[in-house]
Every structure is written in structure tokens, then in C-alpha cells.
């Protein structure tokens, strides 16, 4: 069966399989956005992710890791079966499904926190929704797989639209490029009847951008708030952070926390991270201080 036809069949199934418990998890997550900073914990089921590739491929290790992310305070666990780092080898939908299906099936009924699926393939998204994922985190913002928008709509899932580029271009006004990309993705979402209150925007830190452009996105993040949609930021352990420290290290939590606090001050609502406990603590302090300052 062709990938598009498979995705359509699965998406139609998913529309009937998002039961009341899963819908309640979806709605509870969406309703929390804006009440305080939310943290998305990263669960990579890949052998080649830039930071933790190979550590959580085995289902038992993946389940234990997800439980630790939730215990550390994350609001949603983002499950990914294909590395999207620069230079990573693409994998087929079949291989990605082999990686994510047993883990999503085990975690969806087990975890108190909801699950999202990190994929740009409609067939993978549809299967994850069918198994209980409440959100599709698409690093190509509905623009890679023509079946994705209908899959998300039919599955009644929430959606992260992330900006991406096939190649870097240092001459671009990166915020203008992000806006053009978002406008196209939002048109695709509207055409598929994906409700606006289920959409989150991600400017795609580290994806098709130079180090300078990554910094520029965070500095100018407030220019994206006029979409009146929640903004997700994924700076965790990204290489550009190393260029901002004297030792050049990007893997320590400190650079990620600093970048996330800057993004929070500019209007970001959700933060995708590897180091959940440290970011939860920092963002909680930020939120309390910000709330007191605005009284």
C-alpha cells in the first residue's frame, strides 16, 4: 500500500479511536498553555540523534526514560523515531513505525502525562494517534508529506508547526522567512479544518539556520507573537549554544536554560528539552518572579 493511502486509512481509523480519555489528556494539555511555562521532554528512539542516540532504543530503556521525564516534571513526552539532526540518514516509514509503535503503545496508557509524536510522515503520525498520542510535532510544518494535514485533522490531534529549511542561507532575514513558512503551513492547516486552538508554532532553532540566525530568532521572538498562537522553543543542547560560551560546550544544561529563559521573556510558552528537572526548576522561578513583577 502506498504511504499516502496507508496514512489516509490510518487517519480515518484514528478519528474514531481518540477516545474520551485521550481527548481529555489533549484538552488538559492545551488548556495549560499560557498558565505557566510548559516543558516537553525528549525521548529519542534513534541510534543517531546528536545528543543521546542509541541510549533509549530498547523498549524497556525507553519506558524507564519516559517515566523519569514525567517524574522530573515534564508536561508532555515527545517520542521520535528518526533523527532530524543535520546530515542524519533518512529512514523509511516502516522502520520508524517499528521503532515508535511498541513504545507509544506501552506509554500512552501508562503515563500520566500525554505523548506527542515527533515525525513528518503521515503514516507514523496516524499510527501514533491511533495508539494514544495527542499531538503531532512535525518538523516540516505539514509541508513534507501531503497527507499530514488531513491525518492530523482526522485524528483530532494537536499540532506543532515547525519552520525548517533544506539549506542554510546566511543572507536571509530569518524571521521574515519563518513568517512566510508559517503562513503557508497555517493555510494548509485551515484547508484541512485543523482547529486553530490546537496549533502551536515552533521557529525551528537549529534547523536550516546559521548560528547567527538561531540567535536572531530568539532575540526577535516577540515578532512572532502576533499570530496569537503558542510558541514552542527547542534549544536543548543545540550546537549554536557552544559558540556563546568560553568553553564551547553546548551539552550542559546551563546554555539551554539561559536560552529558554530569554525565549520565555519574549513570549515562548513551551520548551522542548533533554534535561527536564533543571529546566522545570528554572522556568518555575522565572514564572513566579514574572507574576510578581506584573502585579
How far is 237 from 276, CA to CA, in rounded Å?
12
The string of DSSP codes covering 161-205 is EE---SS--TTS-HHHHHHHHHHHHHHHHHHTT--GGGEEEE--T
Is the distance from CB of 161 to CB of 142 less than 8 angstroms? yes
Active site residue 209: no
Name the active-site residue from 65, 85, 272, 284: 272
135 three-class SS: strand
How far is 276 from 253, CA to CA, in rounded Å?
9
Helix axes of 253-266 and 276-293: crossing angle, nearest 10 degrees: 30
How far is 281 from 204, CA to CA, in rounded Å?
24
Helix intervals (H) in the chain: 3-17, 20-32, 59-71, 93-107, 122-131, 148-155, 174-191, 211-219, 253-266, 276-293
Active site residue 237: no
- The candidate with the shortest Cα–Cα distance to 120, out of 207, 198, 196, 38, is 207
Name the active-site residue from 99, 121, 209, 238: 238
Active site positions, annotated: 238, 272
Amino acid at each position: 500500500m502506498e504511504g499516502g493511502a496507508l496514512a489516509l486509512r490510518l487517519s480515518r481509523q484514528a478519528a474514531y479511536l481518540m477516545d474520551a480519555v485521550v481527548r481529555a489528556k489533549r484538552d488538559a494539555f492545551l488548556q495549560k498553555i499560557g498558565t505557566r511555562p510548559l516543558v516537553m521532554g525528549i525521548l529519542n528512539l534513534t541510534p543517531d540523534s546528536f545528543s543521546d542516540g542509541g541510549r533509549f532504543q530498547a523498549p524497556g530503556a525507553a519506558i524507564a526514560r519516559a517515566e523519569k521525564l514525567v517524574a522530573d516534571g515534564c508536561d508532555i513526552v515527545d517520542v521520535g523515531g528518526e533523527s532530524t539532526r543535520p546530515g542524519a540518514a533518512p529512514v523509511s516509514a516502516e522502520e520508524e513505525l517499528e521503532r515508535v509503535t511498541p513504545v507509544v503503545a506501552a506509554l500512552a496508557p501508562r503515563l500520566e502525562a500525554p505523548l506527542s509524536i515527533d515525525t513528518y510522515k503521515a503514516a507514523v503520525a496516524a499510527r501514533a494517534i491511533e495508539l494514544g498520542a495527542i499531538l503531532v510535532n512535525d518538523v516540516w510544518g505539514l509541508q513534507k508529506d501531503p497527507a499530514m494535514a488531513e491525518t492530523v485533522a482526522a485524528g483530532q490531534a494537536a499540532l506543532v508547526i515547525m519552520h525548517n529549511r533544506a539549506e542554510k542561507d546566511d543572507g536571509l532575514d530569518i524571521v521574515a522567512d519563518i513568517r512566510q513558512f508559517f503562513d503557508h503551513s497555517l493555510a494548509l492547516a485551515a484547508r484541512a479544518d485543523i482547529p486553530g486552538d490546537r496549533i502551536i508554532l515552533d521557529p525551528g532553532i537549529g534547523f536550516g539556520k546559521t548560528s547567527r540566525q538561531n540567535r536572531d530568532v530568539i532575540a526577535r521572538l516577540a515578532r512572532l507573537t502576533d499570530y496569537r498562537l503558542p510558541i514552542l522553543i527547542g534549544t536543548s543542547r543545540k550546537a549554536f549554544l557552544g559558540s556563546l560560551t568560553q568553553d564551547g560546550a553546548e551539552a550542559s544544561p546551563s546554555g539551554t536554560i539561559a536560552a529558554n529563559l530569554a525565549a520565555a521573556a519574549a513570549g515562548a510558552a513551551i520548551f522542548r528539552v533533554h534535561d527536564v528537572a533543571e529546566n522545570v526548576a528554572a522556568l518555575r522561578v522565572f514564572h513566579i518572579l514574572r507574576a510578581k513583577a506584573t502585579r
